[in-house]
Amino acid sequence: MTVATVWPRLEQLLPLVSKPIQYVGGELGGVRKEWETTTVRWALMYPDAYEVGLPNQGVQILYEVLNEQPDVLAERTYAVWPDLEALMREHGVPQFTVDAHRPVRAFDLLGLSFATELGYTNMLTALDLAGIPLLAKDRTDEDPIVLAGGHAAFNPEPIADFLDAAVLGDGEEAVLEVTALVRAWKEEGSPGGRDELLLRLAKTESVYVPRFYDVDYLPDGRIQRVVPNRAGVPFRVHKRTTMDLDQWPYPKKPIVPLAETVHERYAVEIFRGCTRGCRFCQAGMITRPVRERSITTVGQMVKEGLEFSGFSEVGLLSLSSADHSEIGDICSGLAEQYEGTNVSLSLPSTRVDAFNIELAQELSRNGRRTGLTFAPEGGSERIRKVINKMVSEEDLIRTVVTAYTNGWRQVKLYFMCGLPTETDEDVLQIARLAHEVIKAGRAATGSKDIRCTVSIGGFVPKPHTPFQWASMSTPEVIDNRLKLLKQAINSDRSLGRAIGYRYHDGQPSLIEGLLSRGDRRVGAVIRKVWEDGGRFDGWSEHFSYQRWVDAAAAELPTFGVDLDWFTTRERDELEVLPWDHLDSGLDKDWLWQDWQDSMSEFEQDDCRWTPCFDCGVCPSMDTEIQIGPTGRKLLPLTPVGSGNG
């Protein structure tokens, strides 16, 4: 069976839309295979625009891992902008892949990677454009298996009605295991149809199939229990953890975008996981344990990735890149290797207390200084203890002064508003900190030509964190604090004019809170928002708070709950949470104790450098922390700019 491309029909529409280049495909690093020569076919989607989705590391890794299999085909699809959506509906053009412009419905699997919950409405647009029924129960053997992954998949309950399956945790081995199951099922003649395939996936205990679980509710709206409704389906589904990242040096051939994207660099994940224990940070909690890539693998990946792609920036990625046990040697080795070239290094996530003068000098060695962002998260020492962000004011001032004296003229400081126990005074301390940063920078450099930008995000309690029980502040409270903060920053005009101020108001955060901690009843709200025109909710210019409020008011009372019930209500210890049957490895009793510790402002150490404090991950997942130092240096040491490279 061959599958016809939709390109001839699509091409006629492209002159009529903005940024048509994003739909064309053919990028360096892209893969096109013959349909007939492959057995298992994946469409991989990052449910946002091309410019946001293409650089996504997770999708690029899975795309390459799958396409390395001779009988597997993987192509990419992204959310289309509303202008093209309207034309596709008018002319009957279905959701397509950018690689070969094949219709998404023709694939065996549609894998969606959700980094944020605000992409849920874009998923519904893609399903609808593809001709795939929105509800999983309405799909037939002619439809792909719709499978979710990414951080938001650790609570897929709000979109359970729309999903056939979800995978928790690392995807490299998981997609190969799913592929093997699909391959075997197809080779046997697809016995039992779609239902049998989903049952085989569920029995692995690492693929969650929502339809095989029933949810019972108590009269007050809380969940009573979540139980399997089929024999052989596990009570709990476990996350996947890829160990020994040196065995998975992807992406080897990064996709080089045709259109402008949010990140244009070769990104190397230098380690995965984090045990700093910031209580708000879902990424740090669900990706444990820490697994480092060795310095030699990092060096080899950078060499091959730059040679293939021609990028001029290398991003050393992780949740806290400067915590790598050999970060100094990695940076100095790469700086020496690429001295005299146009290649620059960046650490997109740098802890205040891990940045030092050596790192600053290596990152700016070739004269190009990429942006520096530090995240104290909380303005006052007290609130930083509550959230376990162990950064002192002295650390922050010293770090920023180090950057200023090494030639940086601008740094970005990231904070959150709406944290548990937060008061107006905690937020006003951000202004005082920013003033101190500018004063210290001016004193150290003798120059007034320095700036800092204060960026504020709204706190959203996330599943599998100690704050999963916390209540959210209302948008009114957050917006009032943001207004007071702006006044405080500008109260000293001399200092205030050197401080930029960016913030997200409280409304999108509240909706993200609904979606992050919701259960299956929230699916009706998502569908209503989508039917009322909701698209690209992660973009402020497309997001409509009123649309979400109205949809919640229309749908939730049927179940005896409302928007506040999901967002501003604090949960108690014994409440069954919507994701309790999804095992991230973290012990729920440990999370609850850490939540209690936060209320007493107790700081938890990092178990990388201290004895285990029994969060549960290593024994329950049969894993362990993998860190250096290896004692090796970056090889080969021949500088690229010497004429030999």
88-118 pLDDT, tens per residue? 999 999 999 999 999 999 999 999 999 999 9
The residue-averaged pLDDT of 260-266 equals 90
Angle at CA of residue 450, ends 445 and 455, nearest 5°: 135
Which residue has better confidence, 209 or 351? 209
N- to C-terminal Cα distance for the chain? 47
Which residue has better confidence, 355 or 525? 525
The rounded mean pLDDT for the chain is 94
Q: Residue 442 and residue 304: Cα distance in Å, rounded?
A: 42
Please, where are the H alpha helices in 347-423? 357-363, 381-386, 393-405
187-208 pLDDT, tens per residue? 999 999 999 999 999 999 999 9
pLDDT of res. 354: 79
The pLDDT > 90 percentage for the chain reads: 85
Q: Residue 434 and residue 631: Cα distance in Å, rounded?
A: 39
Q: Residue 287 and residue 599: Cα distance in Å, rounded?
A: 24
The residue-averaged pLDDT of 118-135 equals 98
Angle at CA of residue 588, ends 583 and 590, nearest 5°: 130
User: Could you tell me the pLDDT band of residue 327, with boundaries at 50, 70 and 90?
Assistant: very high
Q: Residue 499 and residue 512: Cα distance in Å, rounded?
A: 28
The residue-averaged pLDDT of 501-517 equals 96
21-31 pLDDT, tens per residue? 999 999 999 99
Q: Residue 459 and residue 482: Cα distance in Å, rounded?
A: 13
pLDDT of res. 645: 39
User: Could you tell me the pLDDT band of residue 613, with boundaries at 50, 70 and 90?
Assistant: confident
Are the CB atoms for 635 and 332 separated by under 8 Å? no
380-416 pLDDT, tens per residue? 999 999 999 988 999 999 999 999 998 889 999 999 9
User: Could you tell me the pLDDT band of residue 535, with boundaries at 50, 70 and 90?
Assistant: very high
**Alpha-carbon distances, residue 525 vs 32, 304, 552, 569, 589 (angstroms):** 38, 46, 6, 18, 31
Are the CB atoms for 66 and 131 separated by under 8 Å? no
Helix (H) or strand (E) holding 302: helix 295-309
User: Could you tell me the pLDDT band of residue 247, with boundaries at 50, 70 and 90?
Assistant: very high
Helix, strand, coil % in the chain, rounded to nearest 5? 40, 15, 45
Which residue has better confidence, 641 or 555? 555
Which residue has better confidence, 201 or 260? 201
290-322 pLDDT, tens per residue? 999 999 999 999 999 999 999 999 999 999 888
Peptide bond into 629 cis (omega under 30): yes
142-177 pLDDT, tens per residue? 999 999 999 999 999 999 999 999 999 999 999 999
User: Could you tell me the pLDDT band of residue 629, with boundaries at 50, 70 and 90?
Assistant: confident
pLDDT of res. 519: 98
Q: Any idea which of 70-79, 549-558, 625-634 has the lowest mean pLDDT? A: 625-634
HEC-encoded secondary structure of 157-174: HHHCCCCCEEECECCHHH
pLDDT of res. 568: 98
- Token pair, residue 81, equals 């902008």
The yes-or-no verdict on residue 468 having pLDDT over 50 is yes
User: Could you tell me the pLDDT band of residue 636, with boundaries at 50, 70 and 90?
Assistant: low
**DSSP letter for each residue of 12-67:** TTGGGSSSGGGGT---BT-----GGG-SEEEEEEESS-HHHHTT-HHHHHHHHHHH
pLDDT of res. 638: 58
Are the CB atoms for 470 and 513 separated by under 8 Å? no
Beta bridge partners of 43: 75, 110
Sheet holding 499-503, edge to edge: 372-377, 410-417, 451-458, 499-503
Q: Residue 1 and residue 12: Cα distance in Å, rounded?
A: 26
The residue-averaged pLDDT of 269-275 equals 95
